[in-house]
Every structure is written in structure tokens, then in C-alpha cells.
């Protein structure tokens, strides 16, 4: 799945060709032309949505992460995320702490000349177009917003953790203890499952996700995958990129470059 | 065997019911404590998200539907031997399902939102379907019990039995499918799991039934007719062998066809779960009972057959523990061909050890099932009454 | 590790505490049942002390707020979270900005806006298990 010529490629070409950004991304009906609204500057901030306007189904927010640029030992994106979202790590058993984003270190063990090569990358909710967490959630608390962001509606989450069993990326955390230092814009609480929200509260204000903004290497590109003119879509159309666990055909909204 | 005198018996009954009630109450208190402090007080974490409570609950739920088979064989297939056991089997089914569901509900992160679980339904979720399957199961078993106990309703008992039988097959398929749909983890996501859970439920349900029946006969100072035990013993042996066969196929398919050799190596050879698998599940839970059920020295003795059934139950717990905990302890394979490391314990095998609150919660669920059975049996006089002559005649015909 | 052991050894005690806590909770539950009838008419005589920290106008007439704020909030949360609609008059954070006490900066706590009235009406509010009850709070977050 790490080789870039799997379904990935076909899909990428398809996206490029489709232009209007329809693509087999799980959206059934999209008004052609709407994509023109989101203008694709390199890493441009999204346009803030007007008051009273719902999320735009023509848009699909995504991230492109360049693993080549991700610096060893740097945890800026993680710090930024956890500060923005008020995620703290103070439980005695570290395995019970939430981590919305984490740094993964990969050592290549495949035979060949890349053997032993070390790669770094941040890992978080992949915001799949076909999210297994949404399929399995008994109450429908796991949900995908119209613009492709996968969220947990913590007003209906009962804390059964079935979504955590279903997620192939270990992207979700369960809040194991009561909290009281939440950021007002990011409510979080005991007994519910949570994960990266792509900083919805920032996107809706026309800002970038905290991690993207904080990366000193510019390794993360945020934008509208459906908009062929956006920096992210252009980049995905021109360089080989990888979907993690492409074999599951979940069509994640987070793509990696340099794997 | 120990047989109490009438007055003693009365006291013993109250004692047992009180112990059951107390353990249930402690389990409930443990759940409240977990609810209040959060799951920090348990051994569960972000990698092993389902722990001991789920192992015990799934055993109870799977065995609950299996124990009803005794009734189904009576009503649906007209076996006299099983017919007189149908009420007991229905009661056990309800009691065990209640215990299992209580555990699952009380372990929820937000058990206070149980209303949400009932009012919000996601049709793509297997877990969601189960929320519908269980109440209907109760209704079916309740109606079935009624048709058996109310003389006027007797004619409908066959239909009710059939409906219950079909529903319980669906229910167990649903339980198995909870795992069968989890493609993300190496241990699960196999279509084999649905039929396997059905066979498991047959086997464990019958084992539970045999043990409960033995206790009740001993309690009442009665001897179970050897003929009956003989029949049940043969059936149990077949089912235990079938589960063993399914286990073998599951692991072979996983190792050779799904190419999950690393995971299979982990479970079968190199982990804390390997011992539980070989000694707990295979030896204690399958081979030993099979030997007891077939060996000339033991196969005709009531005590040995009961022991075999008890061993099957012990083996079932090992099997579920290896399946549920072992399956989660193995790290997710996100990047095949790479060694993977992170602050979130990617790439490392996790270790689970249950802590007191979750152990008490799990025991509480068992106690709920126990208490309901004890009280139900006494209040409703569910001791099977066999007409031996009729039985012998029937067996001669069916053979 | 120490903390964990401490939690663990405190278990029997906490267990008792939990059980005892459950009693008032159960009583509260009983008490909730008649609450809606009280809430129905906003004109009942003896009201709890309600301190309005930031004088001005509420998002709707006080009468209507008293009667309908729960439905407004519950309706709004689906609009915001599921549909992504923001910038509408009803927001929980908005309530907090205006109604937080000037002394403690919070809507919770003895005598403060949401809590005083809810304690009086015996309606449990679990919103603030997640939502920050303090106005203008800035979370820090800690490195993992």
C-alpha cells in the first residue's frame, strides 16, 4: 500500500480529470460550478462561512503531508494541536491519555535500497470519505459533515468505543477521566470518544487547522480536495502520494507524500 | 452429592439469592464508581478499548442464545427429552442475556445516556441492530414460555418455539457480526465469525444447561436419568468438536489466505495469549472435555460429564479472552514493511490487566444471571419432569 | 504510578462514596419529574436570585428564555455540530459570555446564573462536563 501506483494513482488521475471535483469521493450529488467559490492559493486559508450558512457539500477538506519535510524531533504540530484543543496528558497510565495527533517514526524494513531509511510523519484522523467509524456507530454520533470532516457528535456519543475498534488508524481516543480545563471553543468531556476535528471551529472562521499553521517546514498543505485549482489538489495531481491503508478503500482525506 | 433437607433447603435458597443479590449490587456500585471517576480506574485504554467486562458479557450473551437450543429441540424438532427442559432453558436464556446486557450498558462511557442509545438508531451499525435484536429476543422468549406454561396456549408453543429459534440464530449472527465487520484489525473482519459464533453458542449454551441441570437435580436429591445425560453428552461432544474445527479453520484462513502470519504467530506462538490459547482454549476447553465424554472410564458417569461441561465453560472464557483482548493487544498494521514507533504506542504489543472495578462489574453481570435463575427456578418450579417410559419410547422411534 | 496506586487503594472508600452519592441522585431524579410543570409558567412567584452580570438585552424576551432556552440550545447544537451552521444568535458560548458571574467568571457555582436556577428547579445540567463554564477561558493544553 505504500507504493504509489495502487488505486491511488487511478483515483488521482480521476480527480484531476474530473476537474469539477466530483470524483468518486462519496458525494452523490454536487452542484457543478460551486467549487469555483473556493479559490486555491497555496495553503490559502478557507473563506469564512457566512453566519447561518451550513457546511458546503461541494467542498472536501483535506490535508497533504510531505513526510520528506517532516523534521526529526520536531513536535510543533502536536503542541499546537493540543494547545488549540486543550488536550492535556496527565493520567498515570499514558495509554489512557488522548492524542489527537501523534508523530510516527517509520523504519523501512523492506528489502531494497531504501532499507533502514527512517521517515517521520504526523498521524491523525484521516477524515475518510467512507469512514468505518461512522458505519459502526450505534447512535449515529460518529458523523461526516457535508464538507468531509469526520466528527463525533458528543451530545449523542454513549462511549461504547466500537468506533475505536473499527478505526484502522488508531485515530480516536476515549476520555478516561473528568476534565475541567477545556478551551471554550472545543468542548471535551469524560466518557466520550474524540479525535482530530481538523479544527472545525477554525476552518469555519476561515482559519487553517492549528497543526498546518504551526509547521515550520511547511510540510502540511490544507485545502479543498474537490477544487482542481487548489494547491492541494494540484499537488496531489502532480506528485505520487499515498493513502494509508489504501487496501481498505476508505478514501482518506489526509494524503502523504514521500513514503 | 450434597442434598439439603427441606428447612435447610429453604434457608440455603435465601442465602444463595442474597449472595447473588449482593454481588450484583457490588457490581452496580463498581459501575457507578467507574462512571463517576471515568475509565481511568480500569485497565482499559486507547488500544485495548474493550476489556474483561466485554469478555464476560459476550460469553453471557452468546451462551444465552445457545441455551435456548435445548428448548428449540423440544418444540421445533419434537424431541421429548428436550421438551420437558424447555422452560428451564427459556429462563436461563433470559437470565444470561440480562446479565450480559447489564454489563455492556454499565460499561458505557456515558451509561447515563442509555435513552440516547434507544432513540438514535444508525442502520449501518451492527451494534445498532443489536439494540433491536435483544428486546425482541426477550419478547419471543417470554411469549414462548407463556405458551408452554399456559395450558390453553400449548398448541401455539411450536410456532413460538420456531420463531424463537430463528430469532436466536439471527441474534447470534448479530453478535458475531460485531467483530466480522471490523476490517481494521487483523484478528477480526472474517466472514467466518458469524457461523462460528452460532456453533459456539450451541456448545456453550448446552454446557451451561448441563451444569445448571446437574445442580438442580442434586439440590432436589434426584438422579438424572442416565439416558438423558447420555443424549446430551453426545450432542455436547459434537458441538465442542465443531467449535474446535472452526477455530482451526479460522486460524488457517487467517494465516494462509489472509496472509496475517505476523498476527497468527503472535497469538499462537509468541505472546501471553499463546498459553491461554493452547492450554485454556484447546486443552482445557476442548480436548479434555472430549476425552471425558468419550473415554470408556468416564463417559457413563454423571460427575465426569458434568465436569466436562464445566470445562467447556472455562475454555469458553479463555477463547473469548484470547479473541477479544488478544485481538486488540496486537498493534494495528498501518504501514506494512515498516517498523513503526510513536508516543501513542503504535507498533507495540499492549498488555491488559483487569483492575478491581471492572472485575466486580463483570462478576456483577454473572451474579445478575445467577440470581434471576435461582429465583426464577424456585418461583416457577422449572425442574424438568421426565416421563421415562414416554422418553424411552420416543428415543426408540427417533433412533 | 503512585497516583494510580493511590486511586486504586482508595477504591473501597470511593465505592461507598459513589453509592452514597447515588442516593441524592436518585432523589433528584424523582424531583425532576414535576419540574417541567413548574417551568411551564415563567411567572411563578418565588424565583431564585438571578444576577445578570452584563445588563442589556437577552437574545429573546426573558419570559421566552425562561421557558424555551433548553429547546433553543438543543436545537442549536445539532445545527452547529451536524450542519456546521455558525454565527446564529443562540450559542452556548454566547450565553456564557453574557451570563457569567462578574466575580467568578463562571455560569456555574453557587449563586451563578445557570446553576442557581437549575439547583432551584432540580434539573441536572451535564453540559458543563464538556463545555467550559467560564467566560474568556484560555486553555493551555500540555505536551504529551
Chains that touch C (3 or more CB pairs under 8 A): A, B
Show me where the domains of chain C are located: 1-33, 62-129
B15, B219 Cβ separation under 8 angstroms:
no
Whether B125 is in a domain gets the answer: yes
Residue A191 binned pLDDT confidence (cut-offs 50, 70, 90): very high
pLDDT tens digits, one per residue of B144-191: 888 888 888 888 888 888 899 899 999 999 999 999 888 888 889 888
A94, C1 Cβ separation under 8 angstroms:
no
Write out the DSSP string of A88-116. Answer: ----SSGGGS--SEEEEEEEE-SSSTTTT
Whether A196 is in a domain gets the answer: yes
Whether A127 is in a domain gets the answer: yes
Whether B231 is in a domain gets the answer: yes
pLDDT tens digits, one per residue of B373-384: 999 988 877 766
B121, B128 Cβ separation under 8 angstroms:
yes
Nearest CA in chain C to B355: C8
Nearest CA in chain A to B42: A176
Residues of chain C with C-beta less than 8 angstroms from the C-beta of A197: none
Q: What is the pTM of this model?
A: 0.86
Give this complex's ipTM.
Answer: 0.89
**Alpha-carbon distance B29 to nearest alpha carbon in chain C (angstroms):** 6
Query: Which residues, including other chains, have CB under 8 Å from residue B170's CB and lie 6 or more apart?
Result: B133
Residue C39 clears pLDDT 60, i.e. is over it: no
Residue A232 clears pLDDT 90, i.e. is over it: yes
Q: What is the pLDDT of residue B382?
A: 72
Interface probe, candidates B58, B107, B108, B109, chain A, greatest A C-beta count within 10 A: B109
Distances (CA, A) of A125 to A253, B344, C139: 9, 13, 22
Whether B1 is in a domain gets the answer: no
Query: Which residues, including other chains, have CB under 8 Å from residue B41's CB and lie 6 or more apart?
Result: B33, B34, B355, B357, C7, C8, C11
**Alpha-carbon distance C15 to nearest alpha carbon in chain A (angstroms):** 16
Domain that holds residue B202: 7-333+346-398
Whether B22 is in a domain gets the answer: yes
Of B32, B112, B356, the CB nearest to C11: B356
Nearest CA in chain B to A136: B125
Look at A141 and B332 and tell me if their CB atoms are within 8 Å.
Answer: no
Residues of B with CB under 8 A from a CB of C: 29-30, 32-33, 36-37, 40-41, 112, 343-344, 355-357
The total domain count for chain A is 1
Look at C84 and A90 and tell me if their CB atoms are within 8 Å.
Answer: no
Q: What is the pLDDT of residue B209?
A: 93
**Alpha-carbon distance A3 to nearest alpha carbon in chain C (angstroms):** 32
Mean pLDDT confidence for C48-65:
78
Residue with cell 496472509: B259
pLDDT tens digits, one per residue of B58-75: 999 999 999 988 877 766
CATH number at residue A79: 3.30.70.20
Distance of alpha carbon A189 from alpha carbon A178, whole angstroms: 6
Q: At what angle do helices B126-149 and B157-180 cross, to 10 degrees?
A: 160
Whether B316 is in a domain gets the answer: yes
Distance of alpha carbon B386 from alpha carbon B332, whole angstroms: 54
Whether B341 is in a domain gets the answer: no
Q: What is the pLDDT of residue B206?
A: 94
Nearest CA in chain B to A244: B334
Look at B109 and A99 and tell me if their CB atoms are within 8 Å.
Answer: no
Instruction: Enumerate the β-bridge partners of residue A194.
Output: A173
Exposed e or buried b for every residue in B163-197, given b needs 16+ CB within 10 A?
Answer: bbbebbbebbbbbbbbbbbbbbbbbbbbeebbebb
B44 DSSP 8-state letter: -
Q: What is the pLDDT of residue B191?
A: 86
pLDDT tens digits, one per residue of B233-262: 999 999 999 999 999 999 998 888 777 889
CATH number at residue B375: 1.20.1630.10
Residue with cell 424438532: B77
Residues of chain A with C-beta less than 8 angstroms from the C-beta of B109: 157-161, 174-175, 190-193
B211, B219 Cβ separation under 8 angstroms:
no
Nearest CA in chain B to A123: B342
Distance of alpha carbon A44 from alpha carbon A208, whole angstroms: 8
The total domain count for chain B is 1
CA atoms within 13 A on the CB side of A215: 23
Residues of chain C with C-beta less than 8 angstroms from the C-beta of A188: 130
Whether A4 is in a domain gets the answer: no
Which chain B residues in 280-339 lie under 8 Å from chain A, judged by CB atoms? Answer: 328, 332, 334-339
Q: How many residues would you count in chain A?
A: 259
Q: How many CB pairs under 8 A join A and B?
A: 186
Q: What is the pLDDT of residue C51?
A: 65
A226, A55 Cβ separation under 8 angstroms:
no
Amino acid at each position: 500500500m505504500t507504493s504509489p501506483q495502487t488505486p491511488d494513482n487511478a483515483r488521482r488521475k480521476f480527480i484531476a480529470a474530473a476537474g469539477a471535483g466530483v470524483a468518486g469521493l462519496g458525494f452523490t450529488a454536487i452542484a457543478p460550478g460551486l467549487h469555483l467559490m473556493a479559490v486555491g492559493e497555496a495553503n490559502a486559508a478557507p473563506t469564512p462561512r457566512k453566519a447561518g450558512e451550513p457546511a458546503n457539500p461541494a467542498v472536501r477538506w483535506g490535508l497533504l503531508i510531505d513526510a520528506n519535510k517532516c523534521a526529526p524531533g520536531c513536535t510543533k504540530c502536536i503542541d499546537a494541536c493540543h494547545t488549540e484543543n486543550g488536550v492535556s496528558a496527565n493520567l498515570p497510565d499514558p495509554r489512557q491519555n488522548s492524542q489527537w495527533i501523534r508523530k510516527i517514526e517509520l523504519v523501512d524494513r523492506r528489502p531494497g535500497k531504501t532499507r533502514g531509511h527512517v521517515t517521520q510523519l504526523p498521524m491523525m484522523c484521516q477524515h475518510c470519505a467512507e469512514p468505518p467509524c461512522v458505519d459502526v456507530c450505534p447512535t449515529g454520533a460518529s458523523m461526516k459533515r457535508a464538507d468531509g470532516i469526520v466528527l463525533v457528535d458528543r451530545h449523542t456519543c454513549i462511549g461504547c468505543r466500537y468506533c475505536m475498534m473499527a478505526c484502522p488508524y488508531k485515530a480516536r481516543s476515549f476520555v478516561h477521566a473528568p476534565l475541567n480545563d477545556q478551551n471554550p471553543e472545543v468542548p471535551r468531556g469524560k466518557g466520550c470518544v474524540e479525535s482530530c476535528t481538523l479544527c472545525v471551529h477554525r476552518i469555519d472562521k476561515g482559519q487553517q487547522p492549528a497543526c498546518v499553521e504551526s509547521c515550520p517546514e511547511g510540510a502540511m498543505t490544507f485545502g479543498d480536495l474537490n477544487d482542481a485549482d487548489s494547491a492541494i489538489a494540484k499537488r496531489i495531481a502532480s506528485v505520487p502520494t499515498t493513502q494509508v491503508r489504501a487496501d481498505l478503500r476508505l478514501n482518506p482525506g489526509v494524503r502523504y507524500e514521500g513514503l | 452429592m450434597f442434598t439439603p433437607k427441606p428447612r435447610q433447603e429453604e434457608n440455603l435458597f435465601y442465602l444463595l439469592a442474597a449472595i447473588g443479590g449482593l454481588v450484583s449490587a457490588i457490581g452496580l456500585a463498581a459501575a457507578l464508581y467507574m462512571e463517576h471517576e471515568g475509565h481511568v480506574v480500569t485497565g482499559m485504554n486507547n488500544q485495548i478499548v474493550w476489556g474483561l467486562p466485554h469478555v464476560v458479557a459476550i460469553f453471557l450473551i452468546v451462551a444465552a442464545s445457545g441455551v435456548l437450543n435445548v428448548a428449540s429441540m423440544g418444540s421445533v424438532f419434537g424431541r421429548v427429552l428436550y421438551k420437558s427442559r424447555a422452560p428451564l432453558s427459556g429462563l436461563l436464556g433470559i437470565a444470561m442475556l440480562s446479565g450480559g446486557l447489564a454489563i455492556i450498558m454499565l460499561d458505557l462511557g456515558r451509561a447515563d445516556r442509555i435513552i440516547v442509545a434507544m432513540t438514535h438508531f444508525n442502520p449501518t451499525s451492527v451494534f445498532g441492530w443489536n439494540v433491536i435484536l435483544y428486546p425482541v429476543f426477550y419478547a419471543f422468549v417470554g411469549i414462548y414460555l407463556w405458551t408452554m406454561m399456559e395450558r390453553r396456549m400449548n398448541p401455539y408453543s411450536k410456532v413460538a418455539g420456531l420463531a424463537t429459534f430463528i430469532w436466536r440464530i439471527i441474534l447470534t449472527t448479530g453478535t458475531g457480526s460485531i467483530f466480522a465487520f471490523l476490517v481494521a484489525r487483523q484478528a477480526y473482519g472474517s466472514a467466518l465469525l458469524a457461523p462460528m459464533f452460532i456453533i459456539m453458542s450451541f456448545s456453550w449454551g448446552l454446557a451451561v444447561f448441563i451444569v445448571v441441570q446437574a445442580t438442580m437435580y442434586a439440590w432436589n436429591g434426584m438422579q438424572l436419568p442416565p439416558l438423558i445425560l447420555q443424549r446430551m453428552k453426545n450432542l455436547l461432544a459434537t458441538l465442542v468438536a465443531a467449535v474446535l474445527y472452526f477455530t482451526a479453520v479460522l486460524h488457517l484462513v487467517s494465516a494462509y489466505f489472509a496472509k496475517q502470519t505476523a498476527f497468527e504467530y503472535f497469538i499462537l506462538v509468541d505472546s501471553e495469549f499463546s498459553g491461554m490459547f493452547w492450554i485454556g482454549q484447546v486443552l482445557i476447553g476442548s480436548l479434555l472435555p472430549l476425552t471425558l465424554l468419550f473415554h470408556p472410564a468416564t463417559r457413563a458417569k454423571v460427575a465426569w460429564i458434568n465436569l466436562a461441561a464445566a470445562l467447556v465453560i472455562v475454555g469458553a472464557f479463555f477463547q473469548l479472552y484470547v479473541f477479544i483482548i488478544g485481538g486488540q493487544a496486537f498493534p494495528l498494521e498501518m504501514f506494512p514493511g515498516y517498523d513503526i514507533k510513536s508516543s501513542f504506542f503504535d507498533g507495540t504489543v499492549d498488555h491488559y490487566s483487569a483492575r478491581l472495578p471492572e472485575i466486580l462489574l463483570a462478576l456483577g453481570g454473572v451474579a445478575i444471571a445467577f440470581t434471576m435463575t435461582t429465583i426464577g427456578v424456585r418461583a416457577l418450579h422449572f425442574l424438568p419432569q421426565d416421563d421415562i417410559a414416554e422418553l424411552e419410547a420416543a428415543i426408540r422411534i427417533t433412533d | 504510578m503512585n497516583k494510580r496506586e493511590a486511586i486504586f487503594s482508595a477504591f473501597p472508600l470511593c465505592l461507598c462514596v459513589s453509592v452514597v452519592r447515588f442516593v441524592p441522585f436518585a432523589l433528584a431524579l424523582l424531583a425532576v419529574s414535576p419540574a417541567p410543570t413548574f417551568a411551564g409558567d415563567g411567572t411563578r412567584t418565588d424565583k431564585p436570585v438571578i444576577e445578570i452580570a452584563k445588563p442589556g438585552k437577552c437574545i429573546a424576551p426573558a419570559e421566552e428564555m425562561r421557558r424555551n432556552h433548553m429547546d433553543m440550545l438543543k436545537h442549536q447544537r445539532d445545527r452547529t455540530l451536524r450542519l456546521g451552521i455558525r454565527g446564529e444568535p443562540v450559542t452556548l458560548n454566547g450565553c456564557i459570555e453574557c451570563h457569567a458571574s462578574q466575580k467568578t467568571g463562571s455560569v456555574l457555582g453557587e449563586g451563578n446564573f445557570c446553576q442557581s436556577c437549575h439547583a432551584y428547579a432540580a434539573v441536572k445540567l451535564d453540559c458543563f462536563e464538556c463545555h467550559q463554564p467560564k467566560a474568556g477561558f484560555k486553555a493551555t493544553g500540555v505536551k504529551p
